[in-house]
A and B are shown apart, each in its own frame.
Chain A
């Protein structure tokens, strides 16, 4: 539901970087999105297309890199991958006390600026 807000933040940062580097436009924007970040890549692309007309990102390519969910068990230190953010059951000892180490990223990773 907040993909539009996330994309607006990405545009704000990207346009700030554009000014700072005195570049003309953004040719590629790379976002890093965790699989457990509650962000829908399709909605994100829709938001990108809705915002970009008339901006320095009008011709930009949007790349979304996904990051797999990973957790570590607080009891036995087993590291494991997870499809759930809420339920972190350790595959080794069966405890639910794991903590996430990756998969919640919502980052502007890189920009490609055109001179």
Chain B
């Protein structure tokens, strides 16, 4: 069991998560709960000061730890893909599934504010795909992942891919309980993105420089890009690839295999 936003809100009735079989695509609503019914105000009188020092994002961290332990008990590796919108997460994932889904048991949770377009693009006969629609939320959180995983639980044995909401800011702050965080950095983004949005790069284990087939055409300065990545994520592994031409894909696929 997990809490839905605490005692002073009424949980939105998520209901039990639907069961999604390989080849199916289902949308799960994970919008935040509606806040209602706060306790009445009191009168002021004598005051007492109490020291708490309690972290306020603790709820997500607790749920993320819970997810991580749960994934581990299933022997499952979880890859969280993060990037700004349009860096190529969905295309990368579709091609990755083509390469791996017949050999490994995979599942996908994909987050967007609205639509199930991405989930439809990721449809694969051997893979259950869940579109998580967040409503207003600009990121996925550990609670949403717990709900989404409930839907694919029975059919995912090896690898769970999470495609986060396209956003270079907030997903950095929300641990989902993943094994590996992968940041996509498209040549078309411009080589200064790591300097402009450092936290997301800092928090990742591996960086994929995507769309490298058109790097020259868009004037991508490779040297500057590596210099900027060195400043923000000195420990991250970097792979250049193109989901369209397949360049660099061997290295990416071997990296995933090395996790299993």
Contact = CB atoms under 8 A, between A and B. Distances in A.
Contact of A56 (B5, B41, B45, B202): B41
Contacts of B5: 8
Given A12-B8, A107-B55, A114-B43, A87 B173 contact: no
B33 to A, nearest CB: 10
B58 to A, nearest CB: 8
Nearest to A11: B8
Contacts of A58: 41
Given A56-B42, A107-B56, A15 B8 contact: yes
Interface residues of A, number: 48
Interface string A84-115: 11110100000011000000011111111111
Interface stretch (B72-80, B81-89, B144-152, B229-237): B229-237
B94 interface: no
B234 A97 contact: yes
A45 to B, nearest CB: 15
Given A17-B50, A24-B45, A89-B231, 11 more contacts: A6-B56, A8-B9, A15-B39, A21-B50, A23-B42, A24-B42, A96-B232, A96-B234, A97-B235, A108-B53, A114-B43
Interface of B: 5-9, 32, 35, 38-59, 138-139, 169-170, 172-173, 194-195, 197-199, 201-202, 230-232, 234-235
21 contacts: A8-B5, A9-B57, A12-B8, A15-B38, A17-B52, A25-B42, A27-B44, A27-B47, A38-B170, A38-B173, A56-B39, A56-B41, A87-B232, A97-B235, A105-B55, A107-B55, A108-B53, A111-B50, A112-B47, A113-B49, A115-B45
